Amino acid sequence: MAFRCQQCGECCSYMGEIIGIEERIDPVRFRIRFSVTGEERRVTLDPDKADLFCTQDIMAIRPMACPFLRFHKPHEACCTVHGTRPDLCRQYDCFRVLILDREGVPCGKVPDRSRVLSTQDAGLHGIWRQEVAGVDIPSESAWEAHVEEVFSRAGYRVVR
């Protein structure tokens, strides 16, 4: 089944740790920086969302959110730079764990409501088989903490 966004905003509610505004170039253009890789790029507010960006303070609602997350309605989130959003955001579908390599490039993920790794990385898959698959940890939060500890120890960065 293909992923279908519910516009809940949860996925972007903790991305402020990863995506930061370095400079507001003009009223609609920004230079952003990825904290994990140091990479910088430019994004532009979508014309139909520029007013929403300027009139809503997302940090008051969700202090760790991506700085471009906003809400059309109380439970309907949107990306105000959707048209120029970064590749990390374009490749996103709901996950409970995202694993980044040493350069900060996504290399594996565990989809929401599962304990299954999705990856093309053979090394990551090997670590998963040896240290995560089959581990009996009933608590979901404890299981995620275990996954984070295992992959962090191996030099990966885990976002959950």
> For every residue of 6-66, which 3-state class applies, written as one string?
CCCCCCCCCHHHCEEEEEECCCCEEEEEECCCCCEEEEECCHHHHHHHHHCCHHHHCCCCC
pLDDT at 10: 76
Q: Which helix (H) or strand (E) holds 130?
A: helix 122-131
Average pLDDT value for residue range 106-114: 83
Of 118, 121, 84, 83, the closest CA to residue 102 belongs to 121
Question: Do residues 63 and 101 both lie within one domain?
Answer: no
Would 2 be classed as within a structural domain?
no
Band of pLDDT at residue 5, cut at 50, 70 and 90:
low
pLDDT at 93: 67
Question: Do residues 83 and 125 both lie within one domain?
Answer: no
Question: Do residues 86 and 99 both lie within one domain?
Answer: no
Question: Do residues 73 and 24 both lie within one domain?
Answer: yes
Dist. CA 133–CA 9, nearest whole Å: 29
pLDDT at 53: 94
Number of domains the chain contains: 2
Amino acid at 22: E
pLDDT at 36: 80
Structural domain for 24, as ranges: 15-90
pLDDT at 1: 36
Question: Do residues 78 and 100 both lie within one domain?
Answer: no
By residue count, the chain amounts to 160
Model-level pTM? 0.63
What's the mean per-residue pLDDT of the chain? 89
Would 7 be classed as within a structural domain?
no
Question: Do residues 21 and 78 both lie within one domain?
Answer: yes
Band of pLDDT at residue 51, cut at 50, 70 and 90:
very high
Question: Do residues 22 and 83 both lie within one domain?
Answer: yes
Would 105 be classed as within a structural domain?
yes
Asked whether the beta carbons of 18 and 34 are under 8 A apart, the reply is yes
Structural Rg of the chain based on CA atoms: 17
Would 3 be classed as within a structural domain?
no
Question: Do residues 43 and 109 both lie within one domain?
Answer: no
Helix and strand counts by DSSP (H, E) for the chain: 5, 9
Count Cβ atoms within 10 A of the Cβ of residue 77 and give its class: 0-12 exposed, 13-18 middle, 19 or more buried. Answer: buried
Question: Do residues 120 and 66 both lie within one domain?
Answer: no
Average pLDDT value for residue range 112-131: 91
SS3 143: helix
End-of-domain residue from the set 31, 57, 90 = 90
Which of 79-83, 99-103, 120-124, 130-134 has the lowest average pLDDT?
Answer: 99-103
